[in-house]
A and B are shown apart, each in its own frame.
Chain A
Amino acid sequence: NAGVMQNPRHLVRRRGQEARLRCSPMKGHSHVYWYRQLPEEGLKFMVYLQKENIIDESGMPKERFSAEFPKEGPSILRIQQVVRGDSAAYFCASSSQEFNQPQHFGDGTRLSIL
């Protein structure tokens, strides 16, 4: 019974490159959330998606960041033209559709920008 799967676990990019982070939710879960954890800080909400829909992107930076959750396949968090400040751990969580169901977190992707 696989939990939330994130890959890669670690990702290294040079400034200006693109980073793609993947998240496969738990089986049966249709809600996906992305959070960012900057060094020595707590997690901050970025975006909430359902299949083919962005529900809440209030925590997403206005530029260079985008997210999708297609009908088939994992959710993708995409960061274009990465900068040093993008270095962080990115966590994905998933839940079923009921409000009172907990969010289950993946192990995160650690993004390092050289």
Chain B
Amino acid sequence: AQKVTQAQTEISVVEKEDVTLDCVYETRDTTYYLFWYKQPPSGELVFLIRRNSFDEQNEISGRYSWNFQKSTSSFNFTITASQVVDSAVYFCALLTGYSSASKIIFGSGTRLSIRP
């Protein structure tokens, strides 16, 4: 079965703190992609990152970094020196199915609140 678990429903931190959002996935496929999306209060989905299952290199983009570990089936997301504008719901997602019938499976999301 394919599944994405975001155990943290809500997180609240003070501005400038670092915060890590956890994501654990399940799949039997050897080829798959993992994503993070941001959904600000305005409601649209903002694509943040995509990683394929063969690339376990960690990635850093400004204040954002991602830690992909196949051994623990995790793809965690860290925001360094958080800012109020980072307040949003963040979704981790999994794309499997090396065929035309590929569909994205989303976690339930983590609501992140950054307090000034």
Contacts and interface: CB of A to CB of B under 8 A. Distances in A.
Interface of A, secondary structure class, is strand
Contacts, number: 59
B45 A105 contact: yes
A91 B45 contact: yes
A42 B52 CA distance: 22
Nearest to A58: B103
A42 B101 contact: no
Interface stretch (A44-52, A68-76, A79-87): A44-52
A102 interface: yes
Contacts of A108: 43-45
Interface residues of B, number: 25
A41 interface: yes
A55 interface: yes
Interface stretch (B11-19, B58-66, B71-79, B104-112): B104-112
Interface of B: 33, 35, 37, 43-45, 47, 50, 52, 91, 93, 95, 97-109
